[in-house]
């Protein structure tokens, strides 16, 4: 058993090479092999969002507060709200983030393949975001 004490893992400002706008990330867990689970609490200020990306084993988001947006490549932009759980299939190109006028926080859960849990791609343009 391992207990990760509250406050023992620092919150970071997410790097702008993967996000647009101000985003805070607080790691929850990164398991050791053979387990592969990685989970992070991610807080987006209004208008902030991820870049397009994929995950080798898919990704589950659970929205804990606020309202946001999510989109898969070629699909419509969908609203997500506190209490919603969203699943992206393995390799599915997508983005997610806050709504234009609302902050949003979610728990992001994904598994790593050979230590890699995400493949980051291009930024979501203002036109794609709808601003």
CATH value at residue 88: 2.60.120.10
Task: Tell me if 2 is assigned to some domain.
Answer: no
The DSSP 8-state label assigned to residue 126 in this structure reads H
Residue 4 covered by a domain: no
> What's the pTM value of the predicted model, to 2 decimals?
0.95
Count of structural domains within the chain: 1
- At residue 11, the 3 state secondary structure works out as coil
H helix count then E strand count, the chain: 1, 12
pLDDT at 78 exceeding the cut of 90:
yes
What's the pLDDT score for residue 101? Answer: 97
Residue 3 within a domain: no
pLDDT band for position 130 (cuts 50, 70, 90): confident
In a domain, 117, yes or no: yes
Q: Is residue 108's pLDDT more than 70?
A: yes
**Cα-Cα-Cα-Cα dihedral sign, residues 123, 94, 49, 101:** positive
Confidence of residue 21 (pLDDT cuts 50, 70, 90): very high
Q: Which domain holds residue 78?
A: 12-129
Residue 53 φ/ψ region, left for φ over 0, alpha for ψ in the -120 to 50 degree band, beta for the rest: beta
Mean pLDDT of the chain: 96
pLDDT band at 70 (very low <50, low <70, confident <90, very high): very high
pLDDT of the residue at 79? 98
In a domain, 5, yes or no: no
E strand or H helix at 26, and its extent? strand 23-30
């Amino acid at each position: 058993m391992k207990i990760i004490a509250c406050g023992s893992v620092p919150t970071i400002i997410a790097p702008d090479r993967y996000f647009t706008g101000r985003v805070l990330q607080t790691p929850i867990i990164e398991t050791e092999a053979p387990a592969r689970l990685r989970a992070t609490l991610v807080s987006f200020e209004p208008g902030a969002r991820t870049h397009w990306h994929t995950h080798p084993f898919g990704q589950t988001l659970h929205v804990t507060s606020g309202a946001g947006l999510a989109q898969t490549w070629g699909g419509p932009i969908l609203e997500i709200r506190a209490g919603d759980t969203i699943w992206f299939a393995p390799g599915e190109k997508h983005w997610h983030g806050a709504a234009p006028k609302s902050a949003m926080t979610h728990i992001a859960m994904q598994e790593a393949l050979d230590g890699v849990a995400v493949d980051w791609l291009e930024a979501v343009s203002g036109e794609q975001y709808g601003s």
